[in-house]
Amino acid sequence: MYDRKRNLQAPFREAAGKGLPTLTPFRRLSTPSGGCEGMPRMSDKDKASGIREGEVAIELPKQFDASVYFIGRIHTPWKKREDCPKTARESDAVCRIEVDPRWAAGLKDIESCSHVVVLYWMDKARRDLVLQVPRHYGEQRGTFALRSPARPNPVAMSVAKLLRVEGNTLSVVGLDCLDGTPLIDLKPYFASTDAEPGATVGWHGKKTDPA
């Protein structure tokens, strides 16, 4: 699970007396390449922890507000993150969702759904980034404007096509996660209420990859 040691270089500090996080003043990067104005300095520890230039980590709260139950595991062909599809639409690989037998009765009637919303827990993702620079875009964006797995609660979602249900195993197409990723929920996908065909993401422009 999450490794707190990776959160050493939080460039945030507590606002005096308010308990609110504040960005440390932005500085010009002193990288050999010159870096860019308006982005925080990157320390050697940040580089070692996998953070990229322009990314900002915060100090995480000292305690959690709630807990989750993992209700199963997702089995996919991908063992390394770099091998995963960047979006669920990029692959037509058949994946297996194994629901823990304890919850199996909850699958009643799910076979009648053509598509299901799958919610899963990106257990290998860091949780402290508020600004990120996705490798394939190279531009700084807020975590909540991205579909990156790195987020305070690393919940991922995909709408997957349901092929069949056998006991407590669902075969689906339309996932993008590592083999063994924990499952946190399944819901029926209602095109009538869930689809917003006119929705846009302004920063994304004509790019086809939402990661």
Ligand X SMILES: C[S@@+](CC[C@H](N)C(=O)[O-])C[C@H]1O[C@@H](n2cnc3c(N)ncnc32)[C@H](O)[C@@H]1O
Q: Which residues in this chain contact ligand X in the complex, by CB under 6 A?
A: 81, 84-86, 88, 122-125, 147-149, 156-158, 176-178, 181, 211
Nearer to ligand X, 41 or 124 (CB): 124
Beta-strand pair 141-142/129-132: antiparallel
Nearer to ligand X, 9 or 158 (CB): 158
Nearer to ligand X, 160 or 165 (CB): 160
Shortest Cβ 211–ligand X spacing (Å): 4
In our burial notation (b when 16+ CB lie closer than 10 A, e otherwise), range 64-97 reads: eeeeeeebbbbbbebeeeeebbbebeebeebbbb
Beta-strand pair 181-188/115-121: antiparallel
Dihedral (CA of 206, 81, 123, 96) sign: positive
Nearer to ligand X, 56 or 183 (CB): 183
Q: Are 27 and 41 in contact (CB under 8 A)?
A: yes
Shortest Cβ 114–ligand X spacing (Å): 19
Shortest Cβ 157–ligand X spacing (Å): 5
Shortest Cβ 192–ligand X spacing (Å): 21
